[in-house]
Structure 1
Amino acid sequence: MRESQTGGHAVVGSGETAAQRAVAGADGGVGPTVADLGERALIDRLTAVARRAVPSHPGHGDVVVVGPGDDAAVLDLAGSLVVSTDSLVQDRHFRLEWSTPEQIGARAAVQSCADIAAMGARSVGIVVSIACPPTTPAAVVLGIDQGMNDIAAEFGARVVGGDLVAAAEMVVTVTVFGTTDGRAPVRLAGAAVGQTVAVSGPLGSSAAGLALLDAGITDFAELVAAHRIPVVDLRQGPVAADAGARAMTDVSDGLVDELETMAAASGVAVEIDTATIPSHPLLRAAADAVGADPIGWQLGGGEDHQLLATFDGQPPAGWTAIGAVVAPGDGPRVRVDGAPSGVRGWQSF
């Protein structure tokens, strides 16, 4: 699972925190803090938002039997339970100078829901734990929660509970629950020689957005937006499973890294053609603006959370074939345009 980069810069300022600066109005006011409201009052507000949220995913009923406000949530699932969790740490994985609290919440939900989709499943419930300093404006916590509820509804899921705790720094931990709806889960180890390698959407957009933000360039709004909230159709996970996907993952740490992980798990090698990798139409212009290589963003940038899968034949509609699974040899497991890529994706440590 990919943690969002922040460009490697420390956050500096006067006595106020990044969270306070992010929500300060023209008069400099930030509203009540978490400590001002108190845990119970803030949880009541968070719970009220979650209770109002309604999933918009067609074709499935609400599986939430007991939602937020009780000791635990209860879900009624028809298939196997699929679970994924991720943590985001302020100034390591997100920056309040670059993203609104709502965008941070949405992004946190997307990256965990992508792991569910990569198993050929759909997300149904989310629990979130937010740790933050007592001086954090309550608007930041409420904004993160609102963004998470909004994006969850788009995916057909609901925020069903969580936790709020004081800490020295802000950490957002998301756990997503999903169901296979009776399908067999699609695992990493199913790739075999002769299969087609495909992706569910354009790659490199998030890395481009990060580079643009880091350079202080305000053009290319769609690419910057794709870094703040990945643009991905996670319904393609179940679509791929129904179409016979043999192996699947999401592109969180970079395309080459994900392919290496899949190839190693499956005991195969992979060859891809960079000319076939889908990209945003402005990716090359953005790369020129910051003096970067757009292919490098596509191969190693990560954070797009598009789905990556192998199929026995051609992929279903909405997917793009980018290569093939081949027999392993003495060289690298992933070959790009016939040669070793030399690309490394995101490294947590």
Structure 2
Amino acid sequence: MTPLERLGLTVMHRLDPETAHGLALTALRAGVAHSPGLVTSDRLRTTLAGLPLPNPVGLAAGFDKNATALQGLSRAGFGFVEVGAATPRPQPGNPRPRLFRLTEDRAAINRFGFNNDGMEAIGTRLTTRPRDLILGLNLGANKDSDDRAGDFARVLAHCGANVDFATVNVSSPNTEKLRDLQGKAALAALLAGVMQARDTLATPIPVFLKIAPDLDDSELADVAEVALSSGVAGIIATNTTLSRAGLASRHATEAGGLSGAPLFDRSTRVLARLSQLTDGALPLIGVGGIGSAEQAYEKIRAGASTVQLYTALVYSGLSLVEDIAKGLDTLLARDGFDSVAQAVGSGRGAWL
């Protein structure tokens, strides 16, 4: 962490978390955030569902919900960036306060409820996106929709021409009954509609499925079966958790999804199990609790082709991205791997 970042984080942690989040986006737009530019090497370069990445470290959805800071994010060292979630119509989300720092746990709880500007406004911003950035869009459903499954397809049809991949997000805990769409029959029907919309694009793009960390083994088996048969390009494991095990913060009882350090073990076990169930047939994106190069490497060894992070930036600043990417290069070299791909799944057994 740079001295300037340390000062900035000290100031922002004295503010309401959502206000501080807004200031972070403002800093990115103004070009005053940490900006190392391209972070890559022969060892770090990899592919994800055919997409060429300079490194395997991505930004998870939720940080830039409305695609307002794309230029700054393109210079922040990420190998790829995911924005959103976007819904067909704008919606305000849940009442504030809806974001809580759990400093003692290096975690956060949010219950945003898919607050966003809607697919038309977001889609317009995506038309001017940086072309040297691998960019994805997280697809969501309106809270009051009569056809939530159809919402995902509508957003993809509207915005898909201006992104490199899309993610079906049925795993947010903050929209009532949304996680019900992870059931086998509902998920198969939803994905069929999304893939149909994808196939109408002039250039079809990879579609990923983002799942919750709170699925049991039989539910994970169902997700794997549907994913393998649906044509999706990969699985993002995982979203936030409803578990509150082992937390120390006074905010531990707040409703919403928990992210950050406490999620690492739970999400990595899910990742490893999915890697076993899919047996290399689909790339997996490991998310949940990553705060160091060592943890990113552990996700890769558990079965992830790439990783994403978000909450750790609240505590370590944007320079963490560069630190993790360069640290991964060192760890891969230490263990004799010439590429990220060679390391994928090499330590999976420890998590099963």
* TM-score category, normalised to shorter length: under 0.3
TM-score using structure 1 length: 0.26
More helix by share: 2
TM-score using structure 2 length: 0.25
